[in-house]
Structure formats: structure tokens, C-alpha cells
Structure 1
């Protein structure tokens, strides 16, 4: 145990229990599994409560001190979520989403299949050039408004948005946090991801939307009965949409500045979380809104869920679970890059489906960097396999990626709760197929061109 931990007596110390390193590892894994089981039992325990219970157990049992637990929280993610929630809330107050929803209904002509394809493709494109959390904060409220007004079931369409955000975000350096980590550690630029990752992300995106289309048709979710009549009544409604042009203009300008800074900020040392926190605070300064009325709309349960989960996952990282996994993979690869693509890609996908992909990517990136020092540029394909696996694997479960949780909480707020089981019934089979196809294609191209 560290000196910091030793300086703070724990519950185990009180009872005179001294655990070996292997016992601490087992305890950390057990706590994670128990937390995950509680999250699965969402009918009885809210997932935020489950995550906070797990975090409390980690600290009480001394796996992490409170200081270490605090340090394990990825505040770049928390600041990003908090800042973008505030900007999106201001846009919502200005009437912006109502205008976009009306445009969406007109352009899709009220046809469910067009709603699915157009909003999924828009989400994927936005996610490639923004981060996927920002994109779903923007897109999910619009999709809910459109499908509810057309009399359609919103849950399948929201799941489609989640899938598109994660596959679209895989394509570029700035689309998903694992890619930002890989770019920083491996010294790869925007163009490297466009050449080596984007083609497979594009295939996964179109394949995913196509599979979702088939699945929704099979389950009757594309039933357009009455949608045309509802669209006609909405369009012919003489009641104007209530907007605040000044507030909308201010929010859109700040939103645009935020997006530009997202694309240029990382090379100059400005992380996405700091950018979002700063620009949203400036919007509060210039907008005629009080922090109290705006902060009431922040999804605090989402933020606390992530903080609790970061601490539980931080315990796994602290006892060396991710390092051991990464080292075992490196030993199994034994210099065979083709085998490495399959092992790194698929193991990253599986792990990312059940724990946050950020700490795993950091650990795996450190190991790959050491391997790069030995093998040189010949091992570059492993970086791209890690990117594809870590990003696409986020679609496996409801807690596999930040965007999933954000959309889930937006859905609950709008009166359409998304359960763990509902998500897996739609998303998991599609995630398995798209991930296997993307990594399989990458492996095939590597084999044919080496």
C-alpha cells in the first residue's frame, strides 16, 4: 500500500487485516463486479446510487484514499459534460431545438425510415468533428421532439443516435477520448486517423444504421401509421414557435466558438473540458439568465454517476489490473503484428463495453509505446486496432461510453426511460457485428498489403 494510504487508517486496518497485493486486486475486481450487478438491477437501485455505493466501498475499504479517489475522477470529462449541458440548456430555452425539430419533420416528410437515417447520419458526421458527448447533447432532444410529435416510439431512435455517435466519433482524432489519448501518446495527427481509422469507421456507421433499420422494421418500430396526418397538423398549426432571437444568437455564437476551439485546442494545450467550462461560463456572463435557473436543468445524476464510476474503475487501475491485462496481451502478441491486431482490437472492445475506455486506453497506450520503442513503426497497426476496439466497443452496453449515459438521462428526463436491457436488445448485436466487421476488414487489409 502507498505511503498516503498507510497514513490514513482504513476499516481493514481497524480489524487488523493486512491484504496481499493479489487480495487487493481481487477485492477491487469484486467491488467492480458488485457495482456492475447493482447497475444491472436498475429496477431496484438507481445506477447513480449504485456507482456512489461502489465508490464509497472503495474508499472505506482503503483501496483508494479520498485524495486518490478524487484524483481518479477524469475532470476533463466532467467539465466537458457540465459545460456542454449548460450551453445546450441555453439553446433549448431560446427555442432553437423546436426550430430544428420542425425542419427535421419537414425534411423527413414524417417517414420513420428517413427519420432514422437522416438523424443517425447527422449524428455520425457531427461526432467525427466534435466529441460524441457534445453531439448527443445537441441531437437527442431534437430526436425526442421529432419522433414523439410524429407518434413514434423514441427509444429505438435514441439508441440509433447512440450507435451513430460512437461509430462516427471513431473516425477522427477529436471524435472520441481514446483517439485523443492515442494521438497524444503515439504522436499521431488528424490525418493519420483519417487514413488508417476513418474508412473502417465509415463502414461501421453505414452497416450499423442498416442493421438498426432491419431490426426496427422486424420489431415494428418503423410503423408510420398516422405519422403523415400528424405531420400535416403540425405544419398547418398557425401557432408560431416561441423563440428568443437574442438568446439564440448569443448561444449559437458561443457554441460555434466552442466547436472551433475543440478542433484546434488540443495541440495548444487546451483540453475539451476546460474549453467547454470556460465558454459556458462566458455565456452565463453575457446571457440574461441566472446561474440558479440554468443549473436546475443540469443532469447532476449523470455527473455523479460518472464520478462514482471513475472512482470504482480507478481502484482497478490503482491495483494494476489494466497494466496486467495490457502486459499479458503484449506477451501473447510476441511480435506477431497480425495476431496483435486481433488481440488488441477485440480485447479493447470487450473491456470498453463494461468499463470506461479512458483508463484502459491510457494503460494500453503506455504498453504499446514501449513496444514501439522496440519494434518501431512496424507496430503502428496496433494503434489503429486499439482505436477501433476501444471506440466501437462503447456500443456494447449502456455504460460502455459517456454518450450512452447522457442520452439515457435525457430520455428519462423527457419521460422515456431507457433501461439496460432495452439498450442491449437493440445495440449489443449491432455492436458485435460492426466491431467484428471493422476489425476484420482492417486485419484483411493489413494481411493483403504487408
Structure 2
């Protein structure tokens, strides 16, 4: 009975989120409360399912970005970026996507979209360009780019912690080549797909080129303090493998430091009001919904089903892992899914698989790339949607799905070919 209830509540909640008739955070939290009311789990278990590290990381970065944004630095960057490509929409998309992908690989994709999206929305507004294509390519680029490194995407961090011999260099060496290929293919397709919508306006571009970006920069102690702490925090992210301090602790420390430094200049309560609370509570509700599936064993059964389907064969297991993690991560969020799959991969060695590294790489590729499937498939997606909604540029769940599913399938096809020729071909020769 509990299994049926958990499944029905999960499906009903996702259906309501997709219709977008009610606030998504309200729906997700209501689903979590229904699981409590029906005794699927208790409050203590519910809080345990919420990934508080992810929530704390998002909250801290939102504070940092909110304070830094008051200095006008993001507007300054937006104008300089647009001037660099002379206000041309297609080159702007290419530069934005590349910056997002590279930044997501080395700074964590959630961090990079928090920094970039406010800049991007300011930019497209000034050039009177549709925001949707740029927001879309930003989401896809963040998830694709984040796949390449140990710290790029939360699932990779989890896998890196689970496998002792996986280093920062290991992820780049094994995942970097296929990430570059997928990113290039997706970017080219999107530039061709939206080329008619992204029209070049010479008058607006000319006016933009005449603008003095420095006029929008508020030179004050706040500028020095916020940029210094932000750079210090990002440097901490990059040094994560060496300083042995998790990125959440680094982010929280940076946010607290900046709040202390600016306490006399800014009202802390007002800064807290500018945090994207809807996004944070949506995450909490989503974790509670998936927690219901974990409690009744549905996710574990899916994992066992993958092992049964592959028959313990390493090549088949790798491909099954790639596709199942890719497709399911778009539905249940890749963080809790990977958490459920890590012990399953460890158990594969008990089936006689001595080298399960190809399965680990397949899980990393599937989970990270799978985030592009739906608007709730990855943390970066939800963050971008939240910021866009606060700027009156909402992203429709269904509209995103129309682009997300093809990108996901294309990415998984390319990844399958890569995994086969790099790791699995010797098993068939």
C-alpha cells in the first residue's frame, strides 16, 4: 500500500508541476507533506532525504550574487560581452554557451548559472532579443560542461568520493573528449535552429557599442569587497581537490564573510529577501518526493532491474547504466538517483566484474547529461528557471521538454558510441 501511495503522489505531483497551473514549490512541498500524512515516512526521514549541502550551496551563492549585483558589475560585464561580439546575436550565443560550458567544468555548473544568468538577461533586454534561446543553451551548456570534471556537477562529486582512484585529472581524461564533441554538436544545432529568431538590429547594436560600460559600475568599497570575496570563493572551488574542504563549506564561508564585511552598508534582512526562496523550497520538496520512492524501495528495484537486464555482462551493464541513468535522471533529479546507484555499482564486483570503471563513467555521463531532459532534471535547470521567472521570463516545462528530450537522446547516442569504442570494443573482439 505504501508503495502505491508513494508512486501515485510522485506521479500526481509531477503532473501538476508540468501543467504549471500552481506554483511548483507549493506542489512539490504538498507532495512531500502528503507522504508524511500517509505515513510513507516520518519527519526525521524526510529531513534526511533533503540534500542540505545542495540547498546550503545554492543559498550561499544566491547571497553572494545578490550583494555583488548591487555594484553593477554584472551589467558592466554584460555590456562588455555584447560589445566584444559587436551586438551580433549568433556570436553572442556561441560566446555565452562556451563561457557557460567552460565555467561549469571548473566552477560547478550551479555556481556559473547563478553568476551568468543575471548578466545574460540584462544583455538580451538591452538588445531586445528573445531570452528563451539563450536561457536554453545556458542550461544545456552548463550540464554538458559540468560533466567533464570532478567538481562540475554534483553527481561527479559523489562518484569521485565513492571511488578512491578517481582524481580530478581522471574525469577530464575520460569524460573531456566526449563532452567537447557533444557540446560542439549541440551548439551548432542551436545556432542553426534559432538563427531566424535572433535578428541583428544595427541601431540597437550601434547604440550598445557607444555605451560606456563603466558608467554602470558603482565604484565603492562594496565593489571591492564583493568581487574579492566572490573571486576568493571561486578560487576555493577550483582548489577543492587540494584543500580537502567541500565546496558547500567554501560557499557558506564566503557568504558569511561578505555579510560581515557589508553589514554596515547593507541591510541583511533586505539581502535575505532577495534570495530565490521559491527555488530553494522547490528543491526541498523535490528531494522529499524522491525520498518517498527511496523509502518504499522503488529506486532500489529499478537498480536491481538494470543488473538483471544486463545479466552481469560488463559491456551490456555499461550501456544499460548510461541510458537508464540518462533517462531516469531527467525525472527523479540526478543527485538522489546517483546516491541510490553508487552502492549498486559497488555490488557489481560481487558478480565477478573486476574492472567496473566503464560502468562508473557511464553513470557519470548518463546522470549529468540526463539533467538536460526536463526542467527539473538538474540543479542548474531549476536555478535558471527560478532566476528567469523572477525577471518575468518564465520557462515553460512543456516547451523546455520539446528541446530537452531531443538534446538528451542525441547526447546519449554520442556518449554510447564513445563508451563503446573507448571501453567496450575489446570485449567483443
Provide the TM-score with structure 1 as the length reference: 0.90
Q: Which residue of 1 aligns with 2:6?
A: 28
- Relative to structure 1, the CA distance from residue 61 to residue 267 in structure 2 (aligned partners, 3 Å threshold; closer, same or farther) is farther
Q: Which residue of 2 aligns with 1:274?
A: 249
Q: Which residue, out of 191, 199, 208, partners 1:234? A: 208
- Relative to structure 1, the CA distance from residue 166 to residue 332 in structure 2 (aligned partners, 3 Å threshold; closer, same or farther) is same
Residue-by-residue CA offset, 1:111-130 (whole Å, 9 max, x unaligned): 11101100000000000011
Mapping of residues 115-130 of structure 1, within 5 Å: 115-130=92-107
Q: Which residue, out of 352, 365, 368, partners 2:342? A: 365
CA distance in 2, matches of 1:244, 1:419: 38
Q: Which residue, out of 76, 82, 102, partners 2:79? A: 102
Unaligned regions of 5+ residues in structure 2, if any? Answer: none
CA-based RMSD of the aligned residues comes to 1.6
Deviation at 1:166, TM superposition (A): 0.2
CA distance in 2, matches of 1:444, 1:191: 21
SS of 1:395's partner is: coil
Deviation at 1:268, TM superposition (A): 5.5
* 1:141 to 2:118 alignment: yes
CA distance in 2, matches of 1:259, 1:449: 41
CA distance in 1, matches of 2:350, 2:206: 64
Residue-by-residue CA offset, 1:339-373 (whole Å, 9 max, x unaligned): 11210000001110111111111111111112235
Q: Which residue, out of 317, 321, 326, partners 2:298? A: 321
* 1:286 to 2:264 alignment: no
Deviation at 1:141, TM superposition (A): 1.0
- Relative to structure 1, the CA distance from residue 269 to residue 312 in structure 2 (aligned partners, 3 Å threshold; closer, same or farther) is farther
Q: Which residue of 2 aligns with 1:194?
A: 172
Residue-by-residue CA offset, 1:182-209 (whole Å, 9 max, x unaligned): 1111221111111111111111111111
Moved more, 372-381 or 71-80: 372-381
Unaligned regions of 5+ residues in structure 1, if any? Answer: 1-22
CA distance in 1, matches of 2:180, 2:377: 20
Deviation at 1:259, TM superposition (A): 1.7
Moved more, 183-192 or 419-428: 419-428
Residue-by-residue CA offset, 1:286-340 (whole Å, 9 max, x unaligned): 1232211211110000001101111111111122222111112122223322111
SS of 1:328's partner is: helix
Q: Which residue of 1 aligns with 2:407?
A: 430
SS of 2:342's partner is: helix
- Relative to structure 1, the CA distance from residue 339 to residue 374 in structure 2 (aligned partners, 3 Å threshold; closer, same or farther) is closer
Moved more, 435-444 or 346-355: 435-444
SS of 2:136's partner is: helix
Mapping of residues 211-222 of structure 1, within 5 Å: 211-217=189-195, 220-222=196-198
- Relative to structure 1, the CA distance from residue 28 to residue 190 in structure 2 (aligned partners, 3 Å threshold; closer, same or farther) is same
Q: Which residue, out of 306, 309, 318, partners 2:283? A: 306
- Are the aligned partners of 1:196 and 1:384 in contact in 2 as well (CA < 8 Å)? yes
- Relative to structure 1, the CA distance from residue 237 to residue 130 in structure 2 (aligned partners, 3 Å threshold; closer, same or farther) is closer
- Are the aligned partners of 2:76 and 2:217 in contact in 1 as well (CA < 8 Å)? no
Deviation at 1:265, TM superposition (A): 3.5
Provide the TM-score with structure 2 as the length reference: 0.95
- Are the aligned partners of 1:76 and 1:271 in contact in 2 as well (CA < 8 Å)? no
* 1:341 to 2:318 alignment: yes
- Are the aligned partners of 1:212 and 1:430 in contact in 2 as well (CA < 8 Å)? no
Moved more, 274-283 or 347-356: 274-283
CA distance in 2, matches of 1:178, 1:396: 16
- Are the aligned partners of 2:325 and 2:366 in contact in 1 as well (CA < 8 Å)? yes
- Are the aligned partners of 2:375 and 2:381 in contact in 1 as well (CA < 8 Å)? yes
- Are the aligned partners of 1:215 and 1:426 in contact in 2 as well (CA < 8 Å)? no
Aligned length: 423
- Are the aligned partners of 2:87 and 2:208 in contact in 1 as well (CA < 8 Å)? no
- Are the aligned partners of 2:312 and 2:351 in contact in 1 as well (CA < 8 Å)? no
Q: Which residue of 1 aligns with 2:29?
A: 52
- Relative to structure 1, the CA distance from residue 214 to residue 427 in structure 2 (aligned partners, 3 Å threshold; closer, same or farther) is farther
Mapping of residues 147-226 of structure 1, within 5 Å: 147-187=124-164, 188-217=166-195, 220-224=196-200, 226=201
CA distance in 2, matches of 1:118, 1:89: 24
- Are the aligned partners of 1:78 and 1:273 in contact in 2 as well (CA < 8 Å)? no
Q: Which residue of 2 aligns with 1:250?
A: 225
CA distance in 1, matches of 2:405, 2:197: 18
SS of 1:252's partner is: helix
Deviation at 1:266, TM superposition (A): 5.7
CA distance in 2, matches of 1:435, 1:143: 28
CA distance in 2, matches of 1:350, 1:376: 24
